[in-house]
Structure 1
């Protein structure tokens, strides 16, 4: 049995705000939603997936059922990473993030994952403080790795 990553469910405090963020910043599309009071959610998908199978296209489900903000100090999700094909794609996402006024972590630098791998990406927070990454598989200079050979995306404070 081959196991692959499916969609990710994220609890949010304000569905309208979070839906707008993920659609605008990451270029996802709205696949479906519920506006029923107490059962609000949104299915967001990747517009570049050509499959007609709903679960192939589903990337994120936003569930409006939380209060407070995301904690990097509690067990659970550490960060959510999205892969793109190239460093230039990461730069395009970074430009979009900046143009929308979203704060980039680490000064907006494309951070290498380690001194051992030339993959890397940018980091920023969603409206509820969930840490997000957009990364490329290669082409990032490794000498700027922040944690040596350890995965930099895992040890940001």
Structure 2
């Protein structure tokens, strides 16, 4: 490995309790394309992405919902292009009665220009859609800690 070697995010794999329910959420609500699905001896999985690029793999192998008090994934975040896109996702999620961590768009911290929405998937996994700018003036749920830290 050279000093100039770099890593960049690849895809994220999530354990889910019900693949069909999770596909409805991630594909229909969040707009991911189903790139492929499989079922090997009752072990179901799906590859999701955008523009042909794999971004998320769902594995139907969880016995229970997300457990925030255990080590592992804290939350999964995506970056939108504009604050209006974040608000459009919020409206789509609210139409489906998705559980939100905070009310509306919130800033990542007091006075921050970055911010977004924080919500949960059908298994309780914590999710975020945010933008680096455009949230200036939005409330910050916690004064001394990052908004995405404890929710």
Pair in the same fold by TM > 0.5: yes
Q: Normalized per residue, which structure has more strand?
A: 2
Aligned partners of 1:116 and 1:149 also within 8 Å: no
Alignment correspondent of 1:69: 65
Alignment correspondent of 2:129: 134
Q: State the SS of the aligned residue for 1:92.
A: helix
Aligned partners of 2:37 and 2:45 also within 8 Å: yes
- In the TM superposition, 1:46-85 aligns within 5 A as 46=50, 49=51, 57-85=53-81
Match of 1:121 among 116, 133, 145: 116
Please report how far the alpha carbon of residue 139 of structure 1 lies from its aligned counterpart in structure 2 after TM superposition. Answer: 1.2
Q: Normalized per residue, which structure has more helix?
A: 1
After TM superposition, the runs of 4+ consecutive aligned structure 1 residues lying more than 3 A away are none
- Count of aligned pairs: 147
Residue 147 of structure 2 is aligned to residue 152 of structure 1? yes
Alignment correspondent of 1:4: 8
Separation in 1, partners of 2:16, 2:119: 16
Alpha-carbon displacement from aligned partner over 1:69-121 (angstroms, at most 9, x marks no partner):
101111111110111011101001001111222232212x1110012531111
The unaligned stretches of length 5 or more in structure 2 are: none
Over aligned residue pairs, what C-alpha RMSD do you find? 1.5
Alpha-carbon displacement from aligned partner over 1:20-56 (angstroms, at most 9, x marks no partner):
110012100000010333321000001xx3xxxx6xx
